[in-house]
Amino acid sequence: MIYHVMVKPRSFKEEVIGAGEGELIVRTRKKAHDGEANKATIELLAKHFGVSKTKIQIVKGATSKHKIIEISE
């Protein structure tokens, strides 16, 4: 499954919000530095979807707030 994700680093909460079909907003407390926000995004999505972190891959946008994430089964 492919999702378009907008990451909001340094947020007050850590949460995943559905913004529409195939679109998510991920808020994390981590900074967008040295991949910290990417790691937190993967952890939050894994918990949200109930899959292991190895099933989630950033396909596009590793250095951007707008990412394309693939969740394999």
Ordered structural domains, the chain, with CATH: 2-71 (3.30.1200.10)
13-44-52 Cα angle (round to 5): 165
Question: Residue 40 pLDDT > 80, yes or no?
Answer: yes
Measured in whole angstroms, the distance separating CA 72 from the mean position of its chain's CA atoms is 14
pLDDT bucket at 68, cuts 50 / 70 / 90: very high
Question: Residue 19 pLDDT > 90, yes or no?
Answer: no
Pairing of strands 2-8, 23-27: parallel
Residues 18-25 have a mean pLDDT of 86
- pTM for the structure as a whole: 0.91
Name the β-bridge partners of 5.
Answer: 24, 67
